[in-house]
A and B are shown apart, each in its own frame.
Chain A
């Protein structure tokens, strides 16, 4: 079976005027359909950069990215947009809600760029909001009237509303208390059970335990299996040292 995500030797160099930043230095990664993958790594290690490429928001400077077997680097702006609209649900690290629009409108926004009929949109938005556990009384609030945690849930609902095959979430639980965080993680788990592929970035080792698999990124490179084992051993020994 072709993997949903098949990234090979991807580099990403930011070169906008100043000093070029080599954010990704040859990342190779496969994610199978229905897999729940967690990406961890220190700040500035290139997690968001990788996520943008996975979400077809950005293209690699070199290397290939096959999304469900399709070479994304050969697509133009509009073709990428079509893929984002139809196949990908993206939860941004900063929620990126339209501040003056209501929760409802924010969640329905991706549906504007799909074929979903108007009549179905509200229903789908309500379902998505229900899945992240936002109480219905907030649906008509403007999004800048919400708390950080509520905003995060609206942002997740927006990523779910177009029923994407691939859900990408950049620190979705960063602003949530552990109870809400659990609600959100259960939502991702439910999505995985529904056959969707979920990729999630987190700093939180607790959150990482929900995933099927976890990869670590350092300075734009994924750790090798050997390094991963070393890491596990080290954290285990550190754990022992403390007791």
Chain B
């Protein structure tokens, strides 16, 4: 039997009981929309978190030495030379003090930053420029403000190129930075070159945060291990100092995030599987009814020369078509549902975030071709698995008995 004929026969049969077919695929619709909505939302949350929290900077390794020994400003270059697995090592020193413009004054945090520091935090420059190496080396009085600080100090006026006074010394604003997700929008965050900070603000040469960017292709875990060894020997961390060392990558953070997501995924998958199985049984039930109702037709077809495989294929195609139709509806509903949920979640998160100045996460569901493909595959599979038994039963009917069936 040719495929086109098979298709025509299937279509006529399905067309004859359209209403019942639609009801039957409900389970498939629910199951598939759950799968699709889940993957789209998880993808969206993951992407949102990655851009918001810098989870994509998985190659960042944070390191610290405490106790009697500390990492000093001049150590940064030496560490970089001693650990070639890093593309760069950067750091920051934290200070605080009064930051003032012509019109306003505020207590703020003053962070001294080495080059590449913002690559690690993920903050992006909005206007102006970053510090030059020369400015860092010469401890120049230049400053970068984040957007909310610029607004606090200069209102709606332009901040770039203006002067601010930090602890009485005049600095030139060379750049405006987007707000970091840790930054408090009500206070002032000023960034100055590391050496400027050490020499003019804090007055001691400790680096408070140190982070390295592991070279692309290097194994993060082994980089962490090597860094521990290197820092231990560099700072002679023996005896009771041996534990005064912290080396960790954001990869572990991503790993734990993935674990949480995996749990969620597992839950949704089991919900989806249950409704898919229920849907599949529904399909099987309908196909069995179908076979019984059309027993005379099947007998006739066999009497006229249809082979078992012709009948099997006809009924299998019917059930696969049903599940595929259910799947198609489910895919559309799944994405519609995902976008609706994401909209609600985003607005809830941002309204909650507005009051405490915290997280503002935008979730945009991700439409993955792979998810659509897998969903389609699942539908075909269910159609075949649950359609096979009724189809086989139809195919094995005896023509004479079937023709006399009342």
Bound-state Cα–Cα, A52 to B12, Å: 29
Partner of A113, one of B297, B304, B396, B400: B304
Could you say which of A2-10, A75-83, A192-200, A223-231 contacts chain B? A75-83
Could you say which of B12, B296, B308, B403 contacts A77, with CB atoms under 8 Å apart? B308
Q: Is the CB of B305 within 8 A of A84?
A: yes
Flag if A113 contacts B307 (CB, 8 Å).
Answer: yes
- B5 near A: Cβ within 8 Å? yes
Q: Any chain A CB within 8 A of the CB of B126? A: no
Inter-chain contact B310/A113, CB cutoff 8 Å = yes
Q: Is A90 an interface residue (CB 8 A)?
A: yes
Minimum Cβ distance to chain B for residue A16 (Å): 8
Give B1-27 as 1s and 0s: 1 = Cβ < 8 Å from A's Cβ atoms.
110110001001000100000000000
Which residues of chain B come closer than 8 Å to A98, judged between CB atoms? Answer: 297, 300
Q: Are the C-beta atoms of A96 and B302 separated by less than 8 Å?
A: no
CA A158 to CA B401, docked complex, whole Å: 21
Within 8 Å CB of A118, what residues of B?
Answer: 2, 4-5
Number of interface residues of A (CB under 8 A): 26
Residue contact B303 to A84, C-beta cutoff 8 Å: yes
When C-beta atoms are compared, the residue in chain A nearest to B304 turns out to be A110
CB proximity of B217 to chain A, nearest CB, Å: 59
Tell me the bound Cα distance from A92 to B301 in angstroms: 13
B5 to chain A, nearest CB (A): 5
- Inter-subunit contact B304/A85 (CB<8 Å): yes
Q: What are the interface flags for A85-100 relative to B under an 8 Å C-beta threshold, 1 for contact and 0 otherwise?
A: 1100010100010101
B306 within 8 A of A: yes
Chain B residue numbers with a CB within 8 Å of A90 are 303-304
- Determine the residue in chain B with the shortest Cβ distance to A158: B304
Query: Distance in Å from the Cβ of A67 to the closest Cβ of chain B?
Result: 14
B399 CB–A CB distance under 8 Å: yes
Given known A96-B300, A112-B1, A118-B4, contact A86–B305 (CB-CB < 8 A): yes
If A77-B308, A113-B310 touch, whether A57 touches B303 (CB-CB below 8 Å) is yes
CB distance from B401 to the nearest CB of A (A): 8
A109 close to chain B: CB less than 8 A:
yes
Residue among B9, B296, B305 making CB contact with A110, cutoff 8 Å: B305
Given A96-B300, A98-B300, A101-B12, A112:B307 Cβ within 8 A: no
Q: In chain A between 22 and 81, which residues have their CB closer than 8 angstroms to a CB of chain B?
A: 52, 55, 57-58, 77-78, 81
Asked whether B309 is an interface residue with its Cβ less than 8 Å from the other chain, the reply is yes
Judge if A114 is at the interface, Cβ distance under 8 Å: yes
Question: Are A57 and B297 in contact (CB-based, < 8 A)?
Answer: no
Among A110, A112, A113, A158, the one with the most B-chain Cβ atoms within 10 Å of its Cβ is A112
> Pick the contact of A58 from B12, B309, B400 — CB < 8 Å?
B400
User: Which B275-311 residues sit within 8 Å CB-CB of chain A?
Assistant: 296-297, 300-310
Shortest beta-carbon distance from A137 to chain B in Å: 22
Q: Which residues of A contact B400 (CB under 8 A)?
A: 52, 57-58
Q: Which residue of B lies closest to A85 (CB)?
A: B305
B 344-368 binary contact with A (CB < 8 Å = 1; else 0): 0000000000000000000000000
Q: How far is the CB of A91 from chain B (nearest CB, A)?
A: 11
Which residue in chain B gives the minimum CB-CB distance to A97?
A: B300
- Which A residues are in CB contact (< 8 Å) with B309? 78
Q: Contacts A96-B296, A100-B16, A112-B5: A81 and B403 contacting too (C-beta < 8 A)?
A: no
Residue of B nearest to A89 (CB): B304
User: Do A109 and B308 have beta carbons less than 8 Å apart?
Assistant: no
Q: Chain B: residues with CB nearer than 8 A to chain A?
A: 1-2, 4-5, 9, 12, 16, 296-297, 300-310, 396, 399-401, 403
Q: Offer 12 A-B interface pairs, CB within 8 angstroms, sorted by A.
A: A55-B303, A57-B400, A77-B396, A78-B308, A81-B308, A84-B305, A96-B296, A96-B303, A98-B300, A109-B301, A110-B304, A118-B5
